[in-house]
Amino acid sequence: MEATLAADALTPLRAAFERGKTRPLAFRRQQLEALRRLITENEERFFEALAKDLGKPTVEAYASELAFILEDISYTLKHLKEWARPEKVKTPLVHAIGRSEILREPLGVVLVIGPWNYPVQLVFAPLVGAISAGNCTVLKPSEMTPACSDLIAELVPKYLDPEVVRVVEGGIPETSALLEERWDYIFFTGSTMVGRIVYLAAAKHLTPVTLELGGKSPCIVDATCDLQTTARRIVWGKFFNAGQTCVAPDYVLCHEKTEGPLLEAMRAAVTEFYGADPKASPDFGRIVNERHHERLVGLLGDAKPVVGGDHDVSQRYLAPTILSGVSAEDPIMQEEIFGPILPVLTVGSIDEAIEFVNAREKPLALYVFTSDNSNADRVLARTSSGGACVNETLAHLAVPELPFGGVGGSGLGAYHGSHSFETFSHRKSVLRRKTWPDLKLRYPPYEGKLGKIRMVMG
């Protein structure tokens, strides 16, 4: 049954693509405008769905989901013509008289699989790229956030052309059936474990992929940092969406001497942001489901948190929690935390912090807080991560021309801004020549021609 569902979604899209429906830029623009209306005319319903699934505060829902997509659409509409233009490149003398150019052509029918933590942004932002580059798309939102998934499935056919964009809802069986089909591109956002499953399925058809995965993103704090701002920015980046952000600071590495004052400043920031009782704060989200709540409480173990630690499964609540005295061997350091728990570890020097990071999988993001530019440069030069910020957390995501993606274990490929358009385009190399002159020099018989060919080719 699932296999039929997958094929049913695919067939009309394939037919529309083959007919060239998505080729004109005017059509792509019209679909992007329709996606904009889908968001703006249903803003309240998205807020409700995000609150139901994740207890997402309205400001966070607006900034990190809806406004993000709206800005992406505006930026894309502004630049689409320029991105889609044939790109002229130099033609070497040997091929003169000729003209060489790179054409951006759509890939075909693409599959976008989304996670639950930003359930709206992370299906629609890839869709902006897919539409702008002229593809047809099947969207598979996460089943873990059913209110958002249902809303997306209800609205997409009302606003977007059903021959061009379709939604298939469901969990593992439905996604597995979709992965059996032959796609021209698969754009996956989710865990490293499922990323491997997607990659294997794609290999069967030699389908190219983007894998937007996760990992443990470190936050290095040196002794010269501006303590108050550092604490506020780490606490904000960590507890935004209750820590369920792929680029959330997973753990802090700070100098032994800085630990005490940093913990104090972070405690103050938690109280400033969420009050004395974060459970009562409208600005602090909830854990997506009971299973993840249980996993997070398990990771806390017997730790004695410096901040927070209390939890209530009936409300899927886990307080903003900060741990100190954590060692690299503790369970909390063995997996991506993906929740509101921040372990703080100490190191003796910046070099020790660099070694710690390099002994692990390459992270999706890395943050360094320092007033010393040479320390920032040293960390950037000697570590590898998908992206990085100096004296900031999360915000590199919102710069449209910074490609967003992982490296090594944190993913493959990148998108945002023009990079989304490029991700969903094939760069086709074209050499155009006249039929004259047609020098006999290159054709057999070659006898006596090597010297002249050397002169032409160098």
> Taking CB under 6 A as the rule, does residue 116 contact ligand NAD?
yes
> Taking CB under 6 A as the rule, does residue 117 contact ligand NAD?
yes
Angle at 274 (CA atoms; ends 269, 280), nearest 5 degrees = 160
Q: b/e for 260-277, b at 16 or more Cβ within 10 A?
A: eebbebbbebbeebbeee
Residue 274 near residue 321, CB atoms below 8 Å: no
Q: Indicate the residue among 320 and 387 with the shorter CB distance to ligand NAD.
A: 387
Binding-site member from 106, 108, 114, 237 for ligand NAD (CB under 6 A):
114
Candidates 108-116, 300-308, 310-318, 346-354: pick the segment binding ligand NAD (CB under 6 A).
108-116
* Residue at 42: amino acid letter: N
> Taking CB under 6 A as the rule, does residue 115 contact ligand NAD?
yes
> Taking CB under 6 A as the rule, does residue 65 contact ligand NAD?
no
Q: Which residue is nearest to ligand NAD (CB)?
A: 214
> Taking CB under 6 A as the rule, does residue 249 contact ligand NAD?
no
Q: For this structure, is 212 an active site residue?
A: yes
Q: Of 136, 219, 225, 246, which residue is the catalytic one?
A: 246
Least distance between ligand NAD and beta carbon 51 (Å) = 19
Alpha carbon distance 178, 112 (integer Å):
10
Alpha carbon distance 389, 373 (integer Å):
12
* Distances 177 to 14, 169, 186, 241 between C-alpha atoms, Å: 17, 12, 14, 31
> Taking CB under 6 A as the rule, does residue 336 contact ligand NAD?
yes
Identify the CA nearest to 95 among candidates 455, 432, 427, 450: 432
Count interface residues toward ligand NAD (CB under 6 A). 28
Binding map of ligand NAD across residues 124-163, x = CB under 6 A, - = no contact: ----------------x-xxx-------------------
At how many degrees (to 10) do helices 227-239 and 256-274 cross?
Answer: 60
Identify the CA nearest to 80 among candidates 134, 35, 120, 123: 134
Binding-site member from 39, 70, 122, 323 for ligand NAD (CB under 6 A):
122
> Taking CB under 6 A as the rule, does residue 274 contact ligand NAD?
no
> Taking CB under 6 A as the rule, does residue 123 contact ligand NAD?
no
Q: Indicate the residue among 151 and 262 with the shorter CB distance to ligand NAD.
A: 151
Q: 411-412 and 209-212 as β-strands: parallel, antiparallel, unpaired?
A: antiparallel
> Taking CB under 6 A as the rule, does residue 364 contact ligand NAD?
yes
> Taking CB under 6 A as the rule, does residue 194 contact ligand NAD?
yes
Binding map of ligand NAD across residues 172-191, x = CB under 6 A, - = no contact: x--xx------------xxx
| H-type alpha helices, 241-289 | 256-274
Least distance between ligand NAD and beta carbon 110 (Å) = 15
Binding-site member from 13, 49, 113, 368 for ligand NAD (CB under 6 A):
113
87-89: strand order across its sheet: 87-89, 98-106, 425-433
| H-type alpha helices, 407-448 | 418-423
Q: Of 212, 259, 336, 422, which residue is the catalytic one?
A: 212
Q: Which helix (H) or strand (E) holds 389?
A: strand 387-390
Q: Indicate the residue among 80 and 127 with the shorter CB distance to ligand NAD.
A: 127
Least distance between ligand NAD and beta carbon 123 (Å) = 9
Residue 425 near residue 28, CB atoms below 8 Å: no
Instruction: Name beta bridge partners: 390.
Output: 368
Binding-site member from 317, 338, 367, 424 for ligand NAD (CB under 6 A):
338
Least distance between ligand NAD and beta carbon 312 (Å) = 22
Q: Indicate the residue among 80 and 288 with the shorter CB distance to ligand NAD.
A: 288
Q: For this structure, is 136 an active site residue?
A: no
Least distance between ligand NAD and beta carbon 289 (Å) = 10
Alpha carbon distance 247, 336 (integer Å):
10
Q: Indicate the residue among 383 and 410 with the shorter CB distance to ligand NAD.
A: 410
Is residue 411 left, alpha or beta, with left meaning phi > 0 and alpha meaning psi from -120 to 50?
left
Rg of the chain on CA atoms, in Å: 25
Where in the sequence numbering do the catalytic residues fall?
212, 246
| Residues lying near ligand NAD in the complex (CB under 6 A) | 113-117, 122, 140, 142-144, 171-172, 175-176, 189-191, 194, 197, 212-214, 246, 336, 338, 364, 406, 411
